[in-house]
Amino acid sequence: SGTLYIVATPIGNLEDITLRALRILKEVDLVAAEDTRHSRKLLTHFGISKPLTSYFDHNKDLKGDQILDRLREGQSVALITDAGTPCISDPGYQLVRDAVAGGISVVPIPGACAAVTALSASGLPTDHFSFAGFLPNRQGKRRERLQSLAADKAVLIFYESPKRLLATLQDMLETMGDREVVVARELTKMYEEFLRGRLSALVKEVQGREIRGEVAILVTPAEEPEATDAPGMEELLQKYLSSGE
């Protein structure tokens, strides 16, 4: 059977496409894209003309089967999404799972991913992080999710729409306390910007100006409680025993 390539595309700056991605996109028989019009423009920009088919969340069952048929016939297929790495808060997971289950070879072609791009220049600890994707839109569910993540000892990485940024920062402040955060905006684009500070300060800043474009939010874990000088249980017990009472 053919090979399914999972091809990362830029998250803004077209120079971030890789040489390997361009070669694979030129070589495959078919490109499956989240939005064929959007992806046609990208391919045209790089002088690539290929048959495109749509693969997105709402047609994934039907389209997934058709793509798997093509792969079984020996054709090679590249999956791309509107931006960044497919399957990361983007369609693709189910297709990859079914291809793997069907014994079809799946080859990743790595490239841009907003979460890792934001983390790499955030200045936050990078040794342990959790990707939490998009939060629920409804406030109740959003707070519930934030509460369930509050004890995580890793830096948390979220994707968010600019119109919900303020509400989400406010909910984070109320459910998780006044933590250090970084908001990475418009990564790799002309107006790329990093907003750094405590949640309380960023809430004020975002209240004062309209934030446009794409954003990722990185939240540091809760601070360890500070060690106190108060005697521990063992120490008290020792004292009590040695006093002979």
* Residue for token pair 């959790």: 130
**Contacting residue, 18, 75, 89, 130, with ligand SAM by CB under 6 A:** 89
CA gap 166, 212 in Å, rounded: 12
Q: Which of 86, 69, 61, 83 is nearest to 30 (CA)?
A: 69
**Options 16-24, 37-45, 80-88, 202-210: segment touching ligand SAM (CB under 6 A):** 80-88
CA gap 176, 174 in Å, rounded: 6
Q: Using CA atoms in the order 197, 198, 203, 209, what is the torsion angle rounded to 10 degrees?
A: -10
Q: How far is the CB of 198 from ligand SAM (least distance, A)?
A: 21
Q: What's the DSSP call for residue 124?
A: S
Whether the Cβ atoms of residue 165 and residue 211 lie closer than 8 Å to each other: yes
Whether the Cβ atoms of residue 200 and residue 179 lie closer than 8 Å to each other: no
Contact call for residue 184 and ligand SAM (CB under 6 A): yes
**Options 78-86, 101-109, 145-153, 237-245: segment touching ligand SAM (CB under 6 A):** 78-86
Alpha-carbon separation of residue 201 from 8, 146, 205 (angstroms): 35, 19, 6
Q: How far is the CB of 159 from ligand SAM (least distance, A)?
A: 3
Q: Which of 80, 65, 71, 61 is nearest to 103 (CA)?
A: 71
**Options 61-69, 97-105, 212-220, 226-234: segment touching ligand SAM (CB under 6 A):** 212-220
Contact call for residue 54 and ligand SAM (CB under 6 A): no
Q: How far is the CB of 151 from ligand SAM (least distance, A)?
A: 24
Contact call for residue 171 and ligand SAM (CB under 6 A): no
Helices (H), 102-245: 114-120, 139-149, 165-176, 199-208, 233-242
Q: How far is the CB of 168 from ligand SAM (least distance, A)?
A: 11
**Options 24-32, 56-64, 187-195, 199-207: segment touching ligand SAM (CB under 6 A):** 187-195
Contact call for residue 169 and ligand SAM (CB under 6 A): no
**Options 21-29, 69-77, 83-91, 194-202: segment touching ligand SAM (CB under 6 A):** 83-91
**Contacting residue, 98, 160, 171, 180, with ligand SAM by CB under 6 A:** 160
Which positions touch ligand SAM (CB under 6 A)? 11-12, 81, 83-85, 88-90, 113-115, 159-161, 184, 186-189, 214-216
